């Protein structure tokens, strides 16, 4: 029996989010070949009205994946597409896919209204399960899915690590901090609220005072 492919709308905003979305776009078709992942950077033909193509894809999609990084949770286009997916896909599945050091608890409205998943091995496995269920009778057996995921996850994970490295480098360049300054700042922010006595905190404070540039607290 020939089953109709299920369209999956993949939303992104920003270079890191786009890179993750493009990686998922390719990878999901290998894991579940009955899926039809859709991404604006790849699936809009030249000469096509961009807004019309996005609206059509939103209306035809059964699943929405929103690729979130620390810098794009308040991006207007992410929030617009999340709202559009929520209205278009009522009764189906909208998944914020949370990447890098972004915490699930830090998601703003309307994103926190959805069941979010981390972009790690466990979260991606759960995402694949949901997509397989969305295929209905076109889905594959659980054991076959386990085998496919185990074989293909390492490649996606390597791509995510490379994207994260680029993301961190871009973040450091944007703040004007060197790698050593960024590391000290991260240590301080992680440990400054720990109850006394905390032996590492005085050393971190000393490193802060020794840095060349004036200290800038994050906003």
- 114 pLDDT higher than 80: yes
> What is the total count of domains within the chain?
2
For the whole model, what pTM was predicted? 0.75
Domain of residue 36 covers 6-165
**Pair 11, 107 in one domain:** yes
The string of pLDDT tens digits covering residues 122-132 is 999 999 999 99
**Pair 63, 92 in one domain:** yes
Residue 126: CB atoms within 10 Å? 14
Residue 197 lies in a domain: yes
What's the pLDDT score for residue 3? 67
Residue 218 lies in a domain: no
Q: What is the mean pLDDT of residues 180-201?
A: 44
**Pair 128, 186 in one domain:** no
Find the CATH number of the domain harbouring 73: 3.40.50.10140
What lies within 8 Å, CB to CB, of 157 at 6+ separation is 121
**Pair 96, 38 in one domain:** yes
How buried is residue 185: exposed, middle or buried, by Cβ count under 10 Å (0-12/13-18/19+)? Answer: buried
Helix axis angle, 15-31 to 121-134, nearest 10°: 60
**Pair 93, 182 in one domain:** no
Q: What is the C-alpha to C-alpha distance for residues 111 and 73, in angstroms, rounded to an integer?
A: 8
The partner residues of 38 in beta bridges, in order of sequence, read 9
**Pair 128, 192 in one domain:** no
Residue 187 lies in a domain: yes
């Amino acid at each position: 029996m020939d089953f109709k492919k299920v369209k999956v709308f993949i939303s992104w905003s920003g270079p890191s989010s786009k890179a993750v979305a493009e990686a998922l776009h390719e990878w999901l078709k290998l894991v579940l070949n009955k899926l039809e992942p859709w991404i604006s950077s790849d699936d809009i033909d030249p000469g096509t009205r961009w807004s019309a193509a996005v609206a059509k894809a939103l209306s035809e999609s059964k699943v929405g994946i929103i690729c979130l990084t620390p810098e794009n949770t308040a991006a207007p286009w992410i929030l617009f597409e999340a709202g559009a997916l929520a209205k278009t896909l009522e009764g189906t599945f909208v998944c914020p896919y949370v990447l890098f050091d972004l915490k699930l608890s830090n998601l703003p409205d309307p994103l926190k209204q959805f069941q979010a998943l981390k972009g790690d091995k466990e979260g991606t496995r759960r995402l694949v399960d949901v997509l397989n269920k969305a295929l209905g009778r076109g889905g594959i057996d659980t054991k076959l899915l386990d085998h496919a995921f185990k074989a293909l996850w390492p490649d996606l994970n390597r791509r995510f690590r490379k994207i994260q490295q680029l993301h961190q480098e871009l973040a450091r360049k944007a703040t004007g901090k060197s790698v050593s300054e960024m590391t000290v700042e991260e240590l301080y922010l992680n440990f400054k609220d720990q109850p006394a006595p905390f032996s590492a905190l005085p050393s971190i404070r000393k490193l802060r005072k020794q840095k060349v540039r004036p200290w800038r607290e994050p906003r």
